[in-house]
């Protein structure tokens, strides 16, 4: 009977360890996948945020020049205009690349907010182009200011949406070096189950 108990103990311990190993490997695979997605999502978001920030910055400088009537230096305005053109070109030439990123790595609501940001960017660009025609500078400056306000609001909404959708839903054990912590957790569980062999063997 002791031999049978020993055999049963070995089989049960082996089965439990095997099941836990399969389970832990699946959990770790899911963790790695979510961490990779989070890294890619963060990388793409940061690139888009930098490009939007650059465009907004130079557009605000352009607006300030007209608002404070400092737009009488052709070289200064040409330099600012060049920065604006470069920034908007970067955004618009990669618009559908950005949209594909958003669609793949965020939820459908993020696509809608992204489209609103791009629409606001193009609206500001149209208002800036209006200064190429002479006259009505004061009206154009007011209109540009309104469109910049809209752009800022849309960018802020995008930032808030991004910050609220970063939960990876990882196990609570994952912290610091997350994958290492997860491995340590499951390793301990497997060791505990392996010890069950001694428990069953001790049963008389």
pTM over 0.75: no
Distance CA 203, CA 148 (A): 77
Domain encompassing residue 177: 2-202
Q: Apex CA 168: angle with CA 112 and CA 118, to 5°?
A: 20
Please tell me the predicted confidence (pLDDT) of residue 106: 77
Number of domains in the chain: 1
Which residue from 53, 47, 54, 166 is spatially nearest to 97, judged by alpha carbons? 47
Please tell me the predicted confidence (pLDDT) of residue 160: 75
Please tell me the predicted confidence (pLDDT) of residue 134: 87
177: three-class secondary structure by DSSP:
coil
Distance CA 119, CA 188 (A): 53
Neighbouring C-beta atoms of residue 6, cutoff 10 Å: 14
Query: Which residues of the chain are modeled with pLDDT < 50?
Result: 8, 167-179, 181-183, 185-186, 188-204
How distant, in Å, are the alpha carbons of 85, 133, 136 from that of 140?
18, 10, 6
Please tell me the predicted confidence (pLDDT) of residue 21: 59
């Amino acid at each position: 009977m002791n031999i049978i108990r020993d055999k049963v103990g070995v089989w049960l311990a082996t089965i439990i360890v095997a099941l836990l190993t399969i389970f832990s490997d699946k959990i770790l695979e899911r963790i790695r996948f979510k961490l990779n997605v989070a890294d890619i999502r963060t990388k793409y978001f940061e690139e888009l945020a930098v490009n939007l920030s650059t465009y907004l910055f130079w557009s605000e400088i352009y607006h300030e020049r007209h608002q404070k009537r400092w737009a009488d230096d052709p070289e200064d305005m040409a330099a600012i205009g060049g920065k604006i053109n470069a920034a908007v070109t970067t955004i618009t030439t990669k618009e559908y690349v950005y949209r594909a990123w958003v669609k793949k790595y965020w939820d459908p609501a993020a696509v809608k907010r992204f489209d609103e940001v791009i629409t606001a960017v193009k609206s500001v660009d149209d208002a800036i182009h209006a200064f190429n025609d002479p006259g009505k500078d004061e009206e154009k400056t007011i209109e540009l200011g309104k469109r910049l306000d809209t752009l800022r609001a849309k960018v802020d909404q995008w930032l808030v949406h991004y910050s609220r959708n970063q939960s990876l839903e990882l196990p609570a054990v994952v912290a610091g070096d997350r994958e290492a912590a997860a491995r340590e957790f499951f390793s301990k569980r497997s060791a505990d189950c392996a010890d069950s062999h001694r428990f069953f063997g001790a049963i008389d």
